[in-house]
Amino acid sequence: MRRGMSALGFIAVALSVPSLVAQSPFSPESSEMHSTNDVSSNGAIAAVINPVAGQPYEASKVTHSVWKLADGTTIRHDAETKIARDGEGRVREDLETTQASSIGGKQTNITLESVTVADPVDHSLTTWTGKTKMAFRMQMPNLSGLTKKPGLGGIVGGVAPPPEPRAVRLGTIPPISETAPPPRHVTADKYEVRTEDLGQQSIAGVLATGKRTTTVIATGKIGNDQPITIVHEEWYSPDLKVVVKSEDSDPRSGDRTMELEGLTRGDPDPSLFHAPEGYKVQDMAQMMKSLGNLGNTAPEKP
């Protein structure tokens, strides 16, 4: 458990760097805030935890989100970004994050475009934005096999293999592993979950298998005065080992679709997996160490 939390902490810090550099003005005092992003389960986090080698591809990742406000207003956001994977499992994912907030009655909107490259060969994450000429690189621990641990696979929503069989003592209930295929019907304290197979179809030129998961939060479980129904539909290519299409519907955050378009197989341009020419690459560990040393520097004696 300690190892998993440490690894996820590293990832969270690395992926938050572009937002910190952009100096987003949002704070806990914001009276209203809405955020959309086009991160996918095929992206950088999945690549460092569960890399896929020998299946390179490049595609456009097209996302659409719709959020309906209480007064009937509809907010729409569309984005088209790049995602690519080389033959050694490196993944580049371009992200577009939009945040809208009302602070003290003043409306503020920010759209942040960033790029994250995960390199499972040298266990690193590199991220940069177009607003600066700086890239940030973080050396990662070797996370291969992390998703095989029960309870950790659901972090990326990816393609972790099922856990190994283990003995169960009579009279005990083993914890549900998030890495295992979800059960057909589960009733928990707060949630009722149903899954259904959707068969197969060709999407973006590859054969994909579909699955729909419906989660119902019963009345009163989170202060809701009627049931909340959340639907996630996912189309996964076993051959390419990527999610080629997904649809999410949640009345609390709106509807979102993601689909890969223009998918081509084969190694992309190697330059896609490196910061652009002219960018200064900062080592995150060294930068954090330097910041720590600044705080620990004792004042000079007169």
Evaluate whether residue 249 is within a structural domain: yes
Location of structure tokens 């900062």: 282
Report the pLDDT averaged over residues 177-194: 60
Structural domain boundaries, residue 77: 2-157+182-295
How high is the mean pLDDT of the chain? 75
Compute the distance between CA of residue 158 and CA of residue 42 in angstroms, rounded to an integer. 7
Evaluate whether residue 176 is within a structural domain: no
pLDDT higher than threshold 90 for residue 166 = no
| Residues written for the chain | 302
Evaluate whether residue 136 is within a structural domain: yes
Evaluate whether residue 177 is within a structural domain: no
The confidence score (pLDDT) of residue 88 equals 95
186 φ/ψ angles, rounded to the nearest 5 degrees: -130, 130
Evaluate whether residue 173 is within a structural domain: no
Work out how many domains the chain is built from and give that number.
1
71 φ/ψ angles, rounded to the nearest 5 degrees: -90, 5
Evaluate whether residue 170 is within a structural domain: no
What percentage of residues in the chain have a pLDDT greater than 70?
66
CA-based angle 110:116:121, to the nearest 5? Answer: 170
User: Could you report the per-residue pLDDT of 211-238, keeping only the tens digit for each?
Assistant: 999 999 999 999 999 999 999 999 999 9
Strand ranges (DSSP E) for 3-144?
32-36, 57-68, 74-85, 91-103, 106-119, 124-129, 134-139
The confidence score (pLDDT) of residue 288 equals 72
Compute the distance between CA of residue 280 and CA of residue 134 in angstroms, rounded to an integer. 5
User: Could you report the per-residue pLDDT of 44-87, keeping only the tens digit for each?
Assistant: 777 878 899 999 999 999 999 999 988 999 989 899 999 999 99
User: Could you report the per-residue pLDDT of 98-146, keeping only the tens digit for each?
Assistant: 777 777 777 777 778 889 999 999 889 999 987 788 999 998 877 665 5
